[in-house]
Structure 1
Amino acid sequence: MTTTSDNADVLRAMYAAEVRYLAAGGPAVADFGTLAPFFAADVALHQAVALPYGGVWRGHDGLQRFFVVMSRTWETFEMVEQEFLSTSATAVVLTQVHARSRATRRSVDFPILQTLRVVDGRIAEVRPFYWDTAAIAAVCAQTVEPAT
């Protein structure tokens, strides 16, 4: 059984690894192995279908594909500020994002509220909630690439 402080450590370490992964160039040049240890083998990432990277992405292969599509969508994707609202078995994290679209070169600032289910020290499920998916999609002006 993991504790709230264990879950907080897992989440902080994962977000730090994600920042390094994205800063290094994401899937084009960085090794997904830096992120893989934080996620369960059967992890499920549920993205809003209205976004260019919408759908359910499953397993480490799914997360790798997700990051490929994300890197095609965003030239920059910066987690400007994070607040850990809960670090229980289902953690809740509020993140302020600044991103710039590759397709349109336009920038957008938006919040994401994520629930992350942690099982045995690994993230098993991620559900991001966006305040305005239409505004984010409009900045991207791309066609939707579903997870399949």
Structure 2
Amino acid sequence: MRKIYFICILFICNDILAQKKDKLYPVTVYEKAWQEKNSDARLKIIKTIWLDDSTFEDPSASIKGIVAFNNVITEFYKKFPDAKLTAGAKVVKDNYVSWDWKIQDAKNNLIMTGRDFARLNGKGQVAKIIGFWDSGAILSEADILKNLEADHFKLVSKYVESLFKTRDFNVMATLIEEGAIYNQAEELPYGGTYKGFEEWKKMFAKATEFFDVEIEKEPVYFSDASKNEVIIYFTIKCKSKKSGKTLSMPISEHFDLKDGKITGIRPFYFDTKQFVEFLKSRK
């Protein structure tokens, strides 16, 4: 009799655990949606657990529907492109699930924390999400931009080091977005528009046919983190391979950035005409 009683209890416990697991499925998918940065891929995920009358509310938004919820996440990643979301243990009661979460940047600096409450419809879908923020843990917009600016400086300075000092193209390749654009002044012997790092390397190789270069004065960095761009000002010292002459030239480079990668570079020479004449001159 005891054995039969124990088996019944075991079946009941397993059934309860199975029900709890099933209830967590839409929440698990919901978290996957938040971690997906590609809008089209994320929309497909959302459609599996979200309905046209499902709602989402937090201090930043109050929306209904599938597309509207996808847009909420899109706007989030525009503001926090390197954000990492981590969720805590789930508490399940009837058709409600709650859990704590935190958001960190690429350097693991805390951006914000909070708690979500989900109401499920019992059919593997989310009926409603309400999110609460811990205002004491939320970084100010100025702090967020400051952290992003520091990441931008680090990225560009690593590129400068790889190009001008270590000459390490393997490291440089990890910094460049696929299809990134490099625009050189058309007047230069290696001028033109180059797309993708393989084309960049050809441009760099062609440039080395004309001169050797080193940094004479270290770069000064300027940034507008809200626009994902960095501008640097520095002085290069070049030695012509045709004439053997040397020339110091101030130069500015404009970097476009996205998701921790360089997507475009445009250099500006202080006197492009003088630089072209220097490269073409002979002894």
Query: Normalising to structure 2: TM-score of the pair?
Result: 0.45
Q: 1:118 aligns with which of 224, 240, 257?
A: 257
Question: Secondary structure of the residue that 1:116 maps to in structure 2?
Answer: strand
Q: 1:15 aligns with which of 160, 163, 181?
A: 160
Aligned to 1:77: 213
RMSD of aligned alpha carbons: 1.4
CA shift at 1:32, angstroms? 2.5
Query: Take 1:137 and 1:105, find their aligned partners in 2: how far apart are those partners?
Result: 15
Query: Take 1:79 and 1:120, find their aligned partners in 2: how far apart are those partners?
Result: 28
Query: Take 1:106 and 1:137, find their aligned partners in 2: how far apart are those partners?
Result: 13
Unaligned 5+ runs, structure 1: 22-30, 143-148
In the TM superposition, 1:123-142 aligns within 5 A as: 123-141=262-280
Q: How many residues align?
A: 132
The higher relative CO (CA closer than 8 Å, separation ≥ 6) is in: 1
Query: Take 1:84 and 1:129, find their aligned partners in 2: how far apart are those partners?
Result: 15
Q: Does 1:107 align with 2:246?
A: yes
Question: Secondary structure of the residue that 1:51 maps to in structure 2?
Answer: coil
Moved over 6 A (4+): none
Query: Take 2:273 and 2:241, find their aligned partners in 1: how far apart are those partners?
Result: 17
CA shift at 1:105, angstroms? 1.1
Query: Take 1:53 and 1:97, find their aligned partners in 2: how far apart are those partners?
Result: 17
Question: Secondary structure of the residue that 1:35 maps to in structure 2?
Answer: helix
In the TM superposition, 1:80-99 aligns within 5 A as: 80=216, 81-86=218-223, 88=225, 89-99=228-238
Query: Take 1:87 and 1:14, find their aligned partners in 2: how far apart are those partners?
Result: 18
**Contact kept? 1:100, 1:107, Cα under 8 Å:** yes
**Contact kept? 1:79, 1:96, Cα under 8 Å:** yes
Query: Take 2:156 and 2:204, find their aligned partners in 1: how far apart are those partners?
Result: 18
Cα distance change on mapping 1:8 and 1:87 into 2, 3 Å: farther
Query: Take 2:238 and 2:280, find their aligned partners in 1: how far apart are those partners?
Result: 14
Query: Normalising to structure 1: TM-score of the pair?
Result: 0.83
Q: 1:47 aligns with which of 164, 184, 194?
A: 184
Larger radius of gyration: 2
